[in-house]
Amino acid sequence: MDKAKNEYTKEKFQRVHVREELGEELTRPQLSYWKDAWLRLAKNKGAIGGLVVILFIVAIALTGPLMNDYSMDDANYDAAYMPPKVKGLSWLGLDGMQTYEVQGTTVEDAIQRGLDGYEIEEKYVQNTEVIEEPNEGNDNYYKVAMEVDIYGAKGLDDTYYWFGTDSMGRDLWTRIWKGTQISLYIGVLAAMIDMVIGVLYGGISGYYGGRTDNIMQRIIEVLSGIPNLVIVILMIMLLSPGLLAITIALTITGWIGMARIVRGQVLKLKNQEFVLAARTLGANDKRVLMKHLIPNVLSVIIINTMFTIPSAIFFESFLSFIGLGLQPPDASLGTLIDTAFDDYRVYPYMLLFPALIISLLMIGFNILADGLRDALDPKMRR
Amino acid sequence: MAKYLIQRLIYMIITLFIIITATFFLMKIMPGSPFNNLGGKITEEQQALLEEKYGLDDPVPVQYFKYLTGIVRGDFGVSFQYENRPVTDMLLERIGPSAELGAQALIIGAVLGIILGMIAAIKHNTWIDYTSNIVAVIGISIPSFVFAGLLQYYLAVKWRLFPVSFWESPIHTVLPTIALMIFPMAICARFMRTEMLEVLGSDYIELARAKGVSNGSIMFKHALRNALIPVITVLGPMTVSLMTGTLVIEQIFAVPGIGEQFVSSINTNDYPVIMGTTILFAVLFVVVILIVDLLYGLIDPRIRITGGGKD
């Protein structure tokens, strides 16, 4: 111990070059608000996962329809109701096998009826399984599930429909991704409406205050009292269902929530010193609003927009589902799910894929929106 | 308070008046007549007779005035599709299943959501919390018709645990109720968790702990009561979701309710039924929003009810 102490003599210590100008420097690089927010977001595994899911879906939605040679509305009645089949993915169940449930007085009878009914040669039946013995409840019939190599039976051995085909033999892969494009368009549209109409309306209303604010708020009050659904349904009936009608309907109703939030924020900010300073320096209204107030509300705007997107996507698919949205032969995820409902008992894959994609898309946007809220506005963290 | 109430009521009436007027005139300029569906089976003369019978040959302002005065008396006109059925009767007949389904979904969903949210907050940052968060996100994200389809396919068609559709006995109500309640449950759970966390971090809970109040007593007597108050505010979005939800859920499970009727009346151009249902929905919505605002002010005196309202 003593020895060690002795080794550190005063001569051994000298000051390194002194730089006065660094005296005030912070040890860590300064982070801008946005960088800080990004770091917080990047730490949130869920939000990043959501972002990845969204980007993945966007990428396939844009390129997917080009990946095979089928087009959106090429009907091919020889290949109707083909189950999904992907080369090399048969272990995932995408093997082109179709299971039919058939009934008969004996097992053989049931299978024979199935073969006749679906016009299949016996050699293509891969597997049979009795799922119900005769009993009172089913009029003493055997119920048999038979697995059929339908691609072979129809002589389409070298054909692959990745997501199967629908009742008209249209390729579902192409239709589903085209439908996803519609959902994404609706999402982008809703975001634009929020950002442009909502922000301007709320900003102007809050900034000018007084009489202007009063009138604008009364309009909002009345508009928001009308359920969205009612406005949308009325617009759609007026314009005949379709993408245009949904677009206009969203334009009428979509911005109200955003306008309210922006107005509240602007009311809070407009009396603060930095606005006064800007005005003293001669900034006009437009400049104060666009350069000083809106940037300060930006985080709230982004958060709110992110929550609007999934609800708009839901609304379009909901309308399409009840038959008020897109009309055939156009397809959106909602119409695809709606048509799948007609025969999903025999062909569940028709329901599965669009349902899966819309659910993933909605979950992705919701998780990302949550993450953005936590990252941009730590005070609002839940 | 009284002034606020009167002000709100006036807004309500204006809103409803605008909805009724807009609905009426949109119906008038809409393409297609209710007798189009008969497709050439009737002559022009017969069509004129039918239009006279239903008052469709009056000038539009007269029709409008008749309709307005009718509504005040609770008369929504006569259905075009079902011979001489008053719309009011049709709606009344159908409101039962819808109300039953809606009430079941709302109550079960809210209670389960509150329990889930409370447990998540108490077990903050444990796997229970994470799981309930995931459940909430999924519940908010997955569209009700997708969820209903999955339930119907697995629980009814494949495993035969429940009837596939129709509305006959309590067991028939199970699947539609689950499908409809998942959204209210998720919203409630989320909101409850946030509020509970906030309350649990507050000073009076610290004080109660310092005094040695038992954990259960803190949770139920102190925290739960205060955390429950703001949950009232989600009643608004919940009602909207129930309204839109009933449209699809009733269609999927063949429930003879208002939603199913609405969708079919749109497809048959049955104007009086469409208008009647639209107005019914609007009234329901406006009244619920008003009740929520009033309740909130009554229960939580910290909320000042002023003309500014919720801004």
Give, for all 382 residues of chain A, the pLDDT tens digit: 455 556 777 777 877 776 766 666 666 667 777 888 888 888 888 888 889 999 999 998 888 877 777 777 777 777 777 777 777 666 666 677 777 777 777 777 777 777 777 777 777 777 777 777 777 666 667 777 777 777 777 777 777 777 777 777 788 888 888 889 988 998 898 888 888 888 889 888 888 888 888 888 888 877 776 767 777 777 766 777 778 888 888 888 788 888 888 888 888 888 888 888 988 998 888 888 888 888 888 888 888 888 888 888 888 888 888 777 787 778 888 888 888 887 777 788 888 888 889 999 999 998 888 888 888 876 654 4
Q: A131: helix, coil or strand? A: strand
Q: Do residue A225 and residue B31 have CB atoms under 8 angstroms apart?
A: no
Nearest CB among A228, A234, A310 relative to B141 is that of A310
Could you give the domains of chain A?
87-154 (3.30.1660), 172-380 (1.10.3720.10)
Q: Do residue A363 and residue B266 have CB atoms under 8 angstroms apart?
A: no
Report the mean per-residue pLDDT for chain B: 80
Residues of B within 8 A of A242 (CB-CB) are: none
Quick one: pLDDT at residue B307? 40
The whole-number average pLDDT for the span B67-91 is 79
Q: Judge whether residue B35 has pLDDT over 70.
A: no
Q: Do residue A370 and residue B23 have CB atoms under 8 angstroms apart?
A: no
DSSP structural state of residue A82: P
Q: Is A53 on the interface with B (CB under 8 A)?
A: no
Q: Judge whether residue B103 has pLDDT over 60.
A: yes
Nearest-neighbour CA in chain A from B226: distance (Å): 17
Nearest CB among B18, B138, B281 relative to A222 is that of B18
Q: Do residue A227 and residue B149 have CB atoms under 8 angstroms apart?
A: no
Quick one: pLDDT at residue A381? 46
Q: Using CA atoms, how far apart are residues B237 and A311, in angstroms rounded to an integer?
A: 12
Q: Is A362 on the interface with B (CB under 8 A)?
A: yes
Q: Judge whether residue B310 has pLDDT over 60.
A: no
Residue B271: closest CA among chain A residues belongs to which residue? A237
Quick one: pLDDT at residue A90? 67
- CA-based nearest residue to A162, from A267, A53, A64: A64
Quick one: pLDDT at residue A270? 83
Q: Where are the alpha helices (DSSP H) in chain A?
A: 2-7, 33-43, 45-63, 107-118, 150-153, 172-193, 199-208, 210-225, 228-239, 243-253, 256-269, 273-280, 285-287, 294-321, 333-342, 349-376
Residue B276: closest CA among chain A residues belongs to which residue? A230
Q: Is A260 on the interface with B (CB under 8 A)?
A: yes
What is the side-by-side order of every strand in the sheet holding A125-132?
A97-104, A142-149, A125-132
Quick one: pLDDT at residue B308? 40
Nearest-neighbour CA in chain A from B195: distance (Å): 9
Q: Do residue B143 and residue A382 have CB atoms under 8 angstroms apart?
A: no
Query: Six-digit token pair at A253?
Result: 């109703």
Q: Greater confidence, A377 or B8? A: B8
Domain range list for chain B: 99-269
Topology given in CATH for the domain delimited by B99-269: MetI-like fold (1.10.3720)
Q: Greater confidence, A180 or B290? A: A180
Q: Do residue A229 and residue B244 have CB atoms under 8 angstroms apart?
A: yes
Residue A381: closest CA among chain B residues belongs to which residue? B194
The whole-number average pLDDT for the span B110-117 is 90
The owner of tokens 């609003």 is A289
Q: Greater confidence, A273 or B29? A: A273
Q: Do residue B146 and residue A382 have CB atoms under 8 angstroms apart?
A: no
Nearest-neighbour CA in chain B from A246: distance (Å): 16
Q: Is A371 on the interface with B (CB under 8 A)?
A: no
Conformation bin of residue B59: beta by default, left when phi > 0, alpha when psi is -120 to 50: beta
Quick one: pLDDT at residue A77? 73
Q: Judge whether residue B231 has pLDDT over 90.
A: no
Q: Could you tell me if A134 and A81 are in contact, meaning their C-beta atoms sit under 8 angstroms apart? A: no
Q: Could you tell me if B195 and B230 are in contact, meaning their C-beta atoms sit under 8 angstroms apart? A: yes
Quick one: pLDDT at residue B302? 62
